[in-house]
Chain A
Amino acid sequence: MDFESLKKSLFDAAKSAGLEEYEIFYTADSSVSAETLKDEISAFAYGVAGGVCFRCVVDGRMGAASSELLTEEEMKALVARAVSNARNIESDDPAIIFEGSESYGKTDMPEFSMPDAAKIKRGALELQRRTYAESELVTEGTQSYMFAGESEMRLVNSHGLDLTNKYGVHGAYVQAVVNRDGESEENFEACGEIESDKLSELPAKAVKGAISKFGAQGVETGTYDVIFSSKQTRALLSTFSPIFSARNAQLGLSLLRDKEGEKIAADCISLIDDPMREGCMVQTSFDGEGVATYKKSVIEGGILKTLLYDISTAKKAGVEPTGNGQRSSYAEPVTIAPYSFYLEAGERTLEEIAESVENGIYITAMKGLHAGADAVTGDFSIDSEGFRIRDGKICEAVKSFTVAGNFFELLKNIEAVSSGLSFGLSSGFTTFGAPEILVRDMSIAGK
């Protein structure tokens, strides 16, 4: 069933059900990936997926139903299910099918063309070959992976709003396993590129990272100054990003409730949300409800400027929505989330910042954030790896220790932000970015 017949069938069913406000959100994705093991392609996958979500307002309440089975019959059933679901909602949250913003920004995504299977397979094999060539210590278990995917979405509603977006992502990763005298270590590195000349650093980075872990020792339990690597700062930002959702704040699930306009972080902290960041492969000019998106400062010089709002939470708070009511796939309900969400870089390099640390740890890996961190309380206690910092110099590898603290306190205690801002891979519309940060006096549990 093509989109036009799907739309006709849903709109007809909506009209005969007597509905006045309704909306269709449609997504279609295709993906291709190749994985290597030893010197051959061990797995190759390709997929086509997608579906449609129908939302409608019945007696002031929003109902929704979604499906991947795109048949005439199923479309009729979808409308009936959405109506029935709306009737069972009790919440008085504003239910609005949006009429449209006055204007929408313009995305400017890097050119993307879906690579063919042969290119992805060649690319993954080449990456694997170069990873093995990096060092004689590289051993079995080492894997290289390359992927590409394309997504299309369309939002059409009873007010005549009709928005479309199309974007593609690709990338590669290397999981390097090294063995020296029976000791195994591994390291994972990812990169949002697939062209051979742009991937030249990936194998070296993965292998060097793994080798640098050899001989890592435990650390004594105590209080240390900690520098979080750019990647780990991104991981913290990602884990605690729900605290910036107005919905969580309104429900008392974020301690940033009623804190707009107040100082919540150190002076050196500025946090930006940008749906159309230059160079980002995934951009959008409208959110999952059809609201225009725009770039904004969430924290500026330590002051919380705004939370992130969808239509319903904005109406409750008496402010304008910020265009953060996201839906990255047809099956997902509207969820408040950021786009390119990043801490602005400072001026000093990592090495310059480390110079101010007498007794510290440079944390380069953290595991189990999904379990060891709680966005409601801000508490975290995370299994980590990294390097000791002694008298201003980054020294030997350390492992098997936890770093513990509270994210709300950490925000206030960040003493320095480095110049090395880097971004991770996108997940849906969200991409996190951060430089290294220095936090004094963190609790470390080790030996």
Chain B
Amino acid sequence: MFDKKLLEEVLGTAMASGDDFAEIYAERTRNNSIRFIDGKIDRINDNFLSGVGIRAFSGTRTIYASTTDISREGLLRCARSVSDAMGEGCAQISVVLTPTTVVDNHPVRINPCDAETKIKSDILKQACFAARDYDEKIAQVQGTLGGVDHSIMVANSEGLFVEDRHVRTRIVINAVASDGRENQSGGCAPGRGMGLEMFDIFNPTDVGTHAAKQALVNLGAGYCKAGQMPVAIENGFGGVIFHEACGHSLEATSVAVGMSEMCGKLGQKIANEKITAIDDGTIAGAWGSVNIDDEGNPTQRNVLIENGILKNYMIDRLGSRRMGMPMTGNSRRQGYTFEPTSRMTNTFIDNGPDKNEDIISSIEYGLYAKEMGGGSVNPLTGAFNFAVREGYMIRNGKICEPVRGASLIGTGSQILQDIDMVGQNLATGQGVCGSSSGSIPTDVGQPLIRVKNITVGGR
């Protein structure tokens, strides 16, 4: 994207106040999405983002400046604002960049931002019509097919100079079922770090049908009764439980500043021994994968918890300085307007020793959370909450009537101890995680698990 000499000059300028590290991040992103509603394509969003963020460190103090002005003057002005904000000074820093080539582990066949609109609208309509035609109670179907083509460049005062490109595709279908009095909704939203070839894996008809079925189940469901009970949480997006209850508390963003209940617990048993949890940004074509993180480091497979023992945190450059621990390839940001921080990639609980059928049959009275919605967590106390999107009561070891409006609340440290059965059907689900460095794609995942006791919110 930029001339090497210019970048070296810009980095030197950013460090003029004697900072010990500087970095330039440049981004060019095409965002393209098609929306379907009321039987027709009604909107196409087509946006191009282009800008630069410059960051400097002095110890653990950081200065960040971003701009859309990518001319030589614009970059130098941005760099000067960084060094001015750091303090007075006229240090002569010379930086020499060494270009490095990134190995692309996620090659893309059909870039969704280059593909003809007709091809994309056909895929989207196939999914939406499948949902609409599934049952006469389906009153409305809304769908979006979105593609992102994200090119980044990272150069820093240690000589790193890399470029990478990351393409992702996602289809989101929401169906509303109505009986005239009430509305209930259902959804399905698979995504991959791939191009349109992701629809070789996901048949659009199945995606639409899934959304419609869920809306109908909820329309026929009564309210979930509130109280404490055992809960079986299904695979896929059920992994949001780990993402919220534990993942955020293992990010350096909260650990390095003493804001996590997981501080100082490395090597300690923090979970049931059946739990092994992993953050892996290298999985080919996965929604949360990238070749390099947003500080230019290759992503890794990081074992966070092994047989219940806390093994590692997810650490970015600033976190690494604060904690005195190595970086783990987890630094991420939505784009150039955000300073990066430690974030998750594809985070999941690995398969365990229990048979899935044993998990259900072990529960006399409880909840089967077939599909989870989103949630949130307070990393300091570990208190989390999340919504159950499709749930059923379990009676005498059998899955019975559907219930709606349930939510699960608890604390991370407690639920990690209370997950006492881990099944064997590991699968992932896609989410968009929001935090201080913006919204980024993350995968969550797990096999079917049992939580022996948790508060179920209902009415």
Taking beta carbons and an 8 Å cutoff, which residues of A are in contact with B?
Answer: 37, 40-51, 63-70, 74, 81-82, 84-85, 88-93, 117, 139-141, 177, 184-186, 221, 251-253, 255, 331, 333, 367-368, 370-372, 374, 376-377, 379-383, 399-405, 443-447
Instruction: Supply 7 A–B pairs (Cβ within 8 Å), ascending by A.
Output: A44-B63, A66-B47, A69-B50, A84-B117, A383-B384, A383-B457, A445-B227
Measured CB to CB, the nearest residue on chain A to B174 is A376
Question: Is B69's CB under 8 angstroms from A48's CB?
Answer: yes
Judge if B417 is at the interface, Cβ distance under 8 Å: no
Judge if B68 is at the interface, Cβ distance under 8 Å: yes
> How far apart are A100's CB and chain B's nearest CB, in angstroms?
24
Of B302-310, B347-355, B401-409, which binds chain A? B401-409
Question: Is A90's CB under 8 angstroms from B40's CB?
Answer: yes
Decide yes or no: A68 and B50 within 8 Å by CB, A42-B61, A379-B405, A445-B458 being known contacts.
Answer: yes
Question: Is A381's CB under 8 angstroms from B406's CB?
Answer: yes
Decide yes or no: A140 and B373 within 8 Å by CB, A48-B67, A333-B43 being known contacts.
Answer: no
> How far apart are A331's CB and chain B's nearest CB, in angstroms?
5
A177 and B373 alpha carbons, distance in the complex (Å): 29
**8 Å CB interface, B334-353 against A:** 337, 339
Question: Is B380's CB under 8 angstroms from A372's CB?
Answer: no
Judge if B425 is at the interface, Cβ distance under 8 Å: no
**8 Å CB interface, B21-51 against A:** 34, 37-38, 40-51
> How far apart are B451's CB and chain A's nearest CB, in angstroms?
15
Question: Is B140's CB under 8 angstroms from A74's CB?
Answer: no
> How far apart are B62's CB and chain A's nearest CB, in angstroms?
5
Which 8 pairs of residues, A with B, have the shortest CB-CB distance? A402-B457, A445-B226, A383-B385, A371-B374, A443-B459, A91-B42, A90-B40, A404-B459
Decide yes or no: A331 and B64 within 8 Å by CB, A117-B85, A372-B407, A379-B405 being known contacts.
Answer: no
A286 and B414 alpha carbons, distance in the complex (Å): 52
**8 Å CB interface, B373-417 against A:** 373-376, 378, 380-381, 383-387, 404-407, 409-410
Residue from the list A66, A92, A252 in contact with B139, Cβ < 8 A: A252
Of B179-187, B193-201, B289-297, which binds chain A? B179-187
Judge if B109 is at the interface, Cβ distance under 8 Å: no
A262 and B166 alpha carbons, distance in the complex (Å): 51
Judge if B6 is at the interface, Cβ distance under 8 Å: no
The proximity string for B residues 220-236 relative to A, scoring 1 for CB distances below 8 Å and 0 otherwise, is: 00010011100000000
> How far apart are A193's CB and chain B's nearest CB, in angstroms?
23
Measured CB to CB, the nearest residue on chain B to A402 is B457
Judge if B121 is at the interface, Cβ distance under 8 Å: yes
A376 and B373 alpha carbons, distance in the complex (Å): 15
Question: Is B41's CB under 8 angstroms from A64's CB?
Answer: no
A267 and B44 alpha carbons, distance in the complex (Å): 42
> How far apart are A447's CB and chain B's nearest CB, in angstroms?
7
A265 and B63 alpha carbons, distance in the complex (Å): 49
> How far apart are B59's CB and chain A's nearest CB, in angstroms?
9
Taking beta carbons and an 8 Å cutoff, which residues of B are in contact with A?
Answer: 34, 37-38, 40-51, 60-69, 81, 84-85, 117-118, 121, 139-140, 142, 176, 178, 182-185, 223, 226-228, 257-259, 337, 339, 373-376, 378, 380-381, 383-387, 404-407, 409-410, 455-459
Residue from the list B85, B184, B407 in contact with A44, Cβ < 8 A: B85
Q: Please, which residues of chain A bring their CB within 8 A of the CB of B184?
A: 377
> How far apart are A209's CB and chain B's nearest CB, in angstroms?
14
Question: Is A44's CB under 8 angstroms from B226's CB?
Answer: no
A37 and B60 alpha carbons, distance in the complex (Å): 10
A68 and B62 alpha carbons, distance in the complex (Å): 26
Question: Is B183's CB under 8 angstroms from A47's CB?
Answer: no
Q: Please, which residues of chain A bring their CB within 8 A of the CB of B406?
A: 381
Question: Is B409's CB under 8 angstroms from A383's CB?
Answer: yes
Q: Please, which residues of chain B bring their CB within 8 A of the CB of A186?
A: 378, 380-381
A110 and B344 alpha carbons, distance in the complex (Å): 42
Question: Is B380's CB under 8 angstroms from A252's CB?
Answer: no
> How far apart are A399's CB and chain B's nearest CB, in angstroms?
8
> How far apart are A217's CB and chain B's nearest CB, in angstroms?
13
Q: Please, which residues of chain A bring their CB within 8 A of the CB of B85?
A: 44, 46, 117
A37 and B223 alpha carbons, distance in the complex (Å): 45
Decide yes or no: A255 and B41 within 8 Å by CB, A186-B378, A402-B409 being known contacts.
Answer: no
Q: Please, which residues of chain A bring their CB within 8 A of the CB of B373?
A: 371-372
Residue from the list A50, A184, A368, A382 in contact with B380, Cβ < 8 A: A184
Question: Is A177's CB under 8 angstroms from B407's CB?
Answer: no
> How far apart are A188's CB and chain B's nearest CB, in angstroms?
10
Q: Please, which residues of chain A bring their CB within 8 A of the CB of B178?
A: 252
A90 and B37 alpha carbons, distance in the complex (Å): 10
A42 and B69 alpha carbons, distance in the complex (Å): 26
Q: Please, which residues of chain A bring their CB within 8 A of the CB of B45?
A: 64, 333
Question: Is A45's CB under 8 angstroms from B63's CB?
Answer: yes
Q: Please, which residues of chain A bring their CB within 8 A of the CB of B42?
A: 89-91, 93
Question: Is B409's CB under 8 angstroms from A221's CB?
Answer: no
A415 and B339 alpha carbons, distance in the complex (Å): 46
Question: Is A141's CB under 8 angstroms from B259's CB?
Answer: yes
A383 and B373 alpha carbons, distance in the complex (Å): 14
Question: Is A48's CB under 8 angstroms from B259's CB?
Answer: no
Question: Is B456's CB under 8 angstroms from A64's CB?
Answer: no
Question: Is B176's CB under 8 angstroms from A88's CB?
Answer: no
Q: Please, which residues of chain A bring their CB within 8 A of the CB of B118?
A: 88
> How far apart are B350's CB and chain A's nearest CB, in angstroms?
25
A49 and B51 alpha carbons, distance in the complex (Å): 8
A405 and B458 alpha carbons, distance in the complex (Å): 8
A85 and B33 alpha carbons, distance in the complex (Å): 11
Q: Please, which residues of chain B bring their CB within 8 A of the CB of A90?
A: 40-42, 121
Question: Is B68's CB under 8 angstroms from A379's CB?
Answer: no
A138 and B439 alpha carbons, distance in the complex (Å): 31
Residue from the list B46, B183, B405 in contact with A85, Cβ < 8 A: B46
A445 and B405 alpha carbons, distance in the complex (Å): 12
Question: Is A177's CB under 8 angstroms from B259's CB?
Answer: yes
Q: Please, which residues of chain B bring their CB within 8 A of the CB of A74?
A: 48
Question: Is A65's CB under 8 angstroms from B226's CB?
Answer: no
Measured CB to CB, the nearest residue on chain B to A254 is B183
Question: Is B46's CB under 8 angstroms from A65's CB?
Answer: yes
Decide yes or no: A88 and B117 within 8 Å by CB, A74-B48, A377-B184 being known contacts.
Answer: yes
Question: Is A88's CB under 8 angstroms from B407's CB?
Answer: no
Q: Please, which residues of chain B bring their CB within 8 A of the CB of A81?
A: 46
Q: Please, which residues of chain A bring their CB within 8 A of the CB of B117?
A: 84-85, 88
> How far apart are B294's CB and chain A's nearest CB, in angstroms?
15
Question: Is A368's CB under 8 angstroms from B387's CB?
Answer: yes
Q: Please, which residues of chain B bring their CB within 8 A of the CB of A63?
A: 44
Q: Please, which residues of chain A bring their CB within 8 A of the CB of B121?
A: 88, 90
> How far apart are A247's CB and chain B's nearest CB, in angstroms?
9
> How far apart are B38's CB and chain A's nearest CB, in angstroms?
6
Given A46-B66, A368-B375: 14 more A-B contacts, CB < 8 Å: A42-B60, A44-B85, A46-B64, A48-B69, A64-B44, A89-B44, A92-B40, A141-B259, A252-B140, A253-B183, A368-B385, A383-B383, A444-B226, A445-B459
Q: Please, which residues of chain A bring their CB within 8 A of the CB of B226?
A: 221, 402, 404, 443-445
Question: Is B227's CB under 8 angstroms from A221's CB?
Answer: yes
A132 and B457 alpha carbons, distance in the complex (Å): 36
A185 and B458 alpha carbons, distance in the complex (Å): 26
Decide yes or no: A372 and B455 within 8 Å by CB, A68-B49, A84-B117 being known contacts.
Answer: no
Interface-central residue, B66, B142, B385, by most chain A CB under 10 Å: B385
Question: Is A140's CB under 8 angstroms from B258's CB?
Answer: yes
A382 and B65 alpha carbons, distance in the complex (Å): 37
Q: Please, which residues of chain B bring their CB within 8 A of the CB of A401?
A: 409, 455, 457
Measured CB to CB, the nearest residue on chain B to A120 is B85
A372 and B388 alpha carbons, distance in the complex (Å): 8
> How far apart are A372's CB and chain B's nearest CB, in angstroms?
5
A445 and B456 alpha carbons, distance in the complex (Å): 7
A44 and B64 alpha carbons, distance in the complex (Å): 6
> How far apart are B96's CB and chain A's nearest CB, in angstroms?
27
